[in-house]
């Protein structure tokens, strides 16, 4: 066997030092074994450097490749970039509606009413005025504004609040609206929570896992566990394939093939149960989206005109994990 077999000398000259070292090892092994398998691998390594796309799965070489095959560029199959897609969404909303309205629409609208619903959900599950709350994906502060009087009411200055999001402009708005210099709003661009270990009583993700890939949901859950005190609560809302009222969202998502769309993401209960078990978290409750469990602190009216009062459902399903 000779170097260059199945490729040109130019291919060899363009190889990196590391690739050449791999080739030398393969050559010596192949020479000892006297087999042809090594020759095939050498051909793959050489061509991979310049023309990987010729080795598509259909020519049956894929199982031999030690790295993923590059496929032709197909924009409609791209996974949207969280940050770029949300920034573009906000740009479009500001252009169409102006800043004030856009800051409500970018988090899903009904700023006052859903803020009441979210804060009431936390209060229905043990939130106390002295608690430290971390609101991941807080957006323009829909929950923070609703929590403000409650966390401020604790004797000795009240509970603390940290909101994180990928959207700097939404965080600026939230900071302005809350006017609580002791509360923090921090931009994040990774699935990380900028807080100390065991510092939070409550970590919540409202309408956030509805826009993330499984891997990032899991990373965020691991982070939520890290920053939570023992006995702390993690609450998140999600879209569930099994919930009939969520199917319409899936159908509208199917219709949107824009590669720059905001990602809509469904999960299912077995995934949540598995993630919790892996992270040694207890699944305390998985509320169905249509199940009434939230004791509202005050009534409000949905944009549809429907009155919400007393004990109501969240709409999205809600998971509650105990640390
Ligand atoms: C539907 S909004 C909900 C906002 C807020 N939780 C609420 O209920 O009012 C989703 C938010 O998640 C944020 N987000 C999306 N991807 C994120 C990520 N990877 N890390 C942090 N926040 C993210 C978006 O910028 C947006 O503000």
User: Percentage of the chain surpassing pLDDT 90?
Assistant: 63
Query: What is the per-residue pLDDT across 30-41, written as a single tens digit (0 to 9) for each?
Result: 444 443 333 333
Model confidence at 255, in pLDDT bands (50, 70, 90)?
confident
Q: Which atom of ligand 1 is nearest to the CA of 83?
A: 16
CB distance 143 to ligand 1 below 6 Å: yes
| Helix (H), strand (E) at residue 133 | strand 133-136
Residue by residue, DSSP assigns 45-106 as: HHHHHHHGGGS-GGGT-GGG-SSPPP----GGGPPPPHHHHHHHHHHHHHHHH-HHHHHHHT
Per-domain boundaries in the chain:
9-64, 82-322
Kindly indicate the confidence band of residue 76, based on its pLDDT and cuts at 50, 70 and 90.
low
Q: Which of 166, 158, 159, 162 is nearest to 139 (CA)?
A: 166
In this prediction, residue 21 carries a pLDDT of 54
Q: Is 170 in the pocket of ligand 1 (CB under 6 A)?
A: yes
pLDDT of residue 204: 98
The token duo for 152 is 């401020």
Quick check: CB of 167 below 6 Å from ligand 1?
A: yes
Q: Which range, 79-93, 130-144, 241-255, is most confident?
A: 130-144
pTM: 0.78
Percent of residues, the chain, with pLDDT higher than 70: 74
**d(CA 166, ligand 1 centre) in Å:** 7
Read off the tokens for 231: 């006995």
Q: Is the pLDDT of residue 220 over 80?
A: yes
Radius of gyration over every alpha carbon of the chain, rounded to an integer in angstroms: 26
Beta 228-240 vs 161-165: how paired, if at all? unpaired
Q: Find the 170 Cα to ligand 1 centroid distance in Å.
A: 10
Q: Is the shortest distance between the CB of 207 and ligand 1 below 6 Å?
A: yes
**Region of poorest pLDDT, from 146-155, 224-233, 267-276, 314-323:** 146-155
Q: Are 275 and 221 in contact (CB under 8 A)?
A: yes
**Mean of the pLDDT values across residues 57-70?**
43
**How many A from CA of 8 to the centre of ligand 1?**
51
Among the listed residues 263, 287, 65, 82, the one whose alpha carbon sits nearest the alpha carbon of residue 167: 82
Rounded Cα distance, 321 and 147, in Å: 21
Residues 61 and 244 sit within 8 Å (Cβ to Cβ): no
Q: How far is residue 211's CA from residue 266's CA, in Å, rounded to a whole number?
A: 8
Pick the CATH number of 82-322 from 3.40.50.11930, 3.10.310.30, 3.30.1490.20, 3.40.50.150: 3.40.50.150
Index of the ligand 1 atom closest to the CA of residue 108: 1
pLDDT at residue number 24 = 54
pLDDT above 80: residue 273: yes
The conformation of residue 244, written as its DSSP 8-state character, comes to: G
User: What is 245-288 written as a DSSP string?
Assistant: GGHHHHHHHHH---TTSPP--EE-HHHHHHHHHHTT-EEEEEE-
DSSP classification of residue 177: H
Give the residue from 245, 256, 230 showing the smallest Cα distance to 287: 245
Tell me, what's the pLDDT at 77?
65
Q: What does the block give as tokens for 239? A: 């879209």
Residue with tokens 């923090």: 184
For 195-223, the three-class secondary structure string (H helix, E strand, C coil) is: CCCCCEEEEEECCCHHHCCHHHHHHHHHH
**Residue of higher predicted confidence among 316 and 25:** 316
Backbone angles phi, psi at 150, to 5 degrees: -75, -50
Q: Is the CB–ligand 1 distance for residue 223 below 6 Å?
A: no
């Amino acid at each position: 066997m000779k170097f260059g077999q199945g490729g040109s000398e130019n291919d060899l000259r363009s190889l990196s030092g590391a690739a050449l070292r791999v080739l030398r090892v393969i050559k010596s092994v192949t020479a000892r074994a006297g087999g042809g398998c090594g020759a095939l691998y050498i051909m793959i390594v050489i061509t991979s450097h310049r023309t990987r796309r010729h080795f598509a799965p259909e020519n049956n070489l894929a199982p031999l490749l030690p790295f993923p095959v590059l496929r032709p560029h197909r924009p409609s199959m791209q996974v949207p970039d969280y940050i770029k897609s949300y920034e573009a969404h906000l740009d479009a909303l500001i252009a169409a509606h102006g800043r004030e309205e856009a800051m409500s629409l970018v988090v899903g609208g009904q700023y006052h009413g859903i803020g009441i619903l979210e804060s009431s959900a936390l209060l229905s599950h043990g939130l106390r005025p002295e608690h430290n709350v971390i609101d991941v994906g807080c957006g323009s502060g829909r929950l923070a504004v609703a929590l403000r009087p409650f966390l401020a009411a604790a004797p000795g200055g009240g509970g603390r609040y940290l909101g994180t999001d990928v959207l700097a402009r939404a965080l600026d708005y939230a900071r302005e609206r809350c006017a609580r210099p002791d509360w923090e709003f921090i931009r994040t661009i990774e699935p990380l929570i900028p807080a100390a270990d065991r510092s939070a009583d409550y970590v919540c993700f409202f309408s956030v896992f509805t826009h993330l890939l499984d891997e990032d949901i899991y990373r965020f859950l691991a982070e939520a566990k890290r920053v939570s005190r023992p006995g702390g609560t993690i609450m998140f809302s999600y879209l569930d394939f099994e919930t009939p009222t969520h199917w319409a969202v899936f159908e509208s998502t199917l219709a949107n093939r824009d590669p720059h769309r905001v990602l809509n993401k469904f999960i299912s209960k077995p995934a949540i149960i598995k993630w919790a078990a892996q992270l040694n978290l207890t699944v305390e409750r998985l509320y169905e989206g249509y199940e009434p469990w939230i004791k509202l602190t005050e009534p409000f009216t949905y944009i549809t005109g429907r009155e919400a009062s007393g004990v109501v459902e969240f709409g999205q399903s809600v998971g509650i994990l105990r640390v």
